Structure 1
Amino acid sequence: MREAAVEADIRSEYLSLALEPEAASMFCKLLPVDCLKLNSSKFVETFKPGTSYIVLDLGGGTVDLTVHHIEYDGRLSEIARASGGAWGGTQVDEAYLKFLEELFCRCVFQAFRENNTSDFLEMLREFEINKNESVKEAFSNKRIIVPSEPGLAVLKGAVLFGHDPLVMKSRVSKYTYGIEIIDKFVEGLSPERYRVFENGIYKCRYTFCPFVRAGELVPVGKIAREHLLSDTFDVKEALEYMHLQKNIQSMLLMKAVFELELYTSMHLINPTCLKCILERQKSV
C-alpha cells in the first residue's frame, strides 16, 4: 500500500496507514455515552481509563478482532495481537444454506428457493436476527455495545487516527525479527555441523540474533538496538546487517529481516541456529 502511494506521487511524510481494527477501536473509544446502547435500551458509561475491551468487527467476508486497554493517559495498549479470518456473515450464511440442503435434499431446497422467494428471504432475515441474539447469549456475562452507524466505524476511526497518530501506546508483535550472526559455539546447544574455528576459538555460523520476539509488547516508536562486534574476515557482510538495528519501523521494510512466527520462546531463549529454525519451519 505504501509503495502504491509512492507510485501515485504521495510523499511519505504526508502518508499515514491506519490498521482497520485500531481505527474501529478508536471510534468506539471516543463515542459519546448517549450513542451507546445496551440491549437497545439502556444507556451505559464505558471506555474510561483502566478499561479493557474487545472490538469485534463482523464483516460480510471476514471477522477482525482486537483487544485494547485504555491507559490513564487516554492512549491505547494492545493486550493481544489483532487476529481474524474468513468467518464473516456471508461465510456463516453459506454454511447455513449448505446445512439446509443436506437436511432437506438439494433438489427440494432449490425448488423452495426458486418457487417461494419471499419465504426464502424472510427465512434469511430471521436467521440474521438469530445470529445477533446468539452472540449476546454466548457472552451473556459481558456488556455488548453496538454503536450507531457501525458501518462507518472504521472510516471515522481512521479520521481520528489522522488527528492523533500517537494514540497507540504499544502493540503486540506478530512476528519475531532478527538477523543472522556468527556467535560463540556453545556445547550441547549449537549444531555441530555449523562449527567453525576462527581467531583461536570455535564459533557457530547461522546463529539467529532476535531483536523483537513474537508476542512481545513493543512500545510505539521503540528503537530496537543490538550491539554486535565482528572479529572475522567478513566485516563487510556484518556492516551490511548492522543498519537493520536502527529502529523497528525500518526493520519491517527490510527483506533481510526474518519473520518467524513459530519457534519463539522455546528456541529463542538464547540465540540459536537460524538455519535449523528455517529448516524446521519449512517442515511444518
Structure 2
Amino acid sequence: MKDGHIHTQYCPHGSNDNMEDYIKRAIEIGLDEITFTEHLPFPENFKDPSPNNDSVMDIESLHKYMKDVNSLKTKYKDKIKINLGVEVDYLEGYEKETKEILDVYGKYFDDSILSVHILNIHGDYKIMDYNKDEFGEIVNLLGGVGNVYYKYYKTLKKALHADLGKYKPNRIGHLNLVRKFNKIYPYNYENNIVLEELLMLIKEKGYELDYNLSGLLKEYCKEAYISGELLNLVKKYKIPVVPGSDAHSVKNMVNYDKLEHINNLK
C-alpha cells in the first residue's frame, strides 16, 4: 500500500517532525511506498495570501528538502520505496511562472500532486482552506456557499487545462477540499453539473486522484475528500486513485488497509 501525500519538517505550517520519523512510521504500519509532497515554492512575483506567510517552503528549503529525500531514498531502499515529489499550487494567472519553476525542478521529481488551495476572486487571491473565518469571508465575497463550490470547481477545471509544461503533475490533490468547513457552511452538492463535468474532464485527460483522508481529522469536515456524491462519480467514471494521508505530522499517518473508506474503491 502506498501513501502518496506526505509533508515534512520543511512545511512552514506543519510540525517539526523529522522526515526519517515519517519513514519509520510508514514501515511500522506496513506501507511499501510513500511520496513526500512538500509544497513547491510560489513564483517570486506571487505574494503569499496566508496571514502568516506560511503556505510553502522557499527555494533554499526546496534544495535542502530534495537533498534530504534523496539521501533517505538510498538509506531505506531495501525497506521501502520512497518518492521525491511536491505539491504544486495551481495559481490562476500565474501559469507561466509556475511552468518556469517546474521546467527547472520537475525533472528531479518522481511523483507529484497538483492542488487548488487559492482562489482568484476579482483579482484578489484568497486561501480557501486556511481557517473558518477566511472561508466565511470568501462566502461573503462570492455571495453564498454554492458560489464558492462553483468557483472552486471552475478553478480546478482551469488547472486541468493549464499548460504547466511536461512536468505538470498527473494527480489532483484533495478534490473536495472545498468541504473542509462543511459542518459550518453546509451545502448539498448532489447532482452538481459542474462537478460531474470536472470528473468527466479528469477521466478524459487521464489524471488520477489523491484519495485524501485528512478531512476525516478536521473538526468541521469529518469526511474524506473523496466521499458522498464525489465518491459515486469517481466510481462511475472509474478514475484511478492514490491514497494520501496529507500528514503534516507523524501521528497522522494511517494504515489504509484498515480503513473502509479505501475499500469503497477496491
TM-score class, shorter: under 0.3
Q: TM-score, normalised by structure 2?
A: 0.22
Q: TM-score, normalised by structure 1?
A: 0.21
Higher RCO by CA contacts (8 Å cutoff, separation 6 or greater): 2
Q: Which has the higher strand share?
A: 1
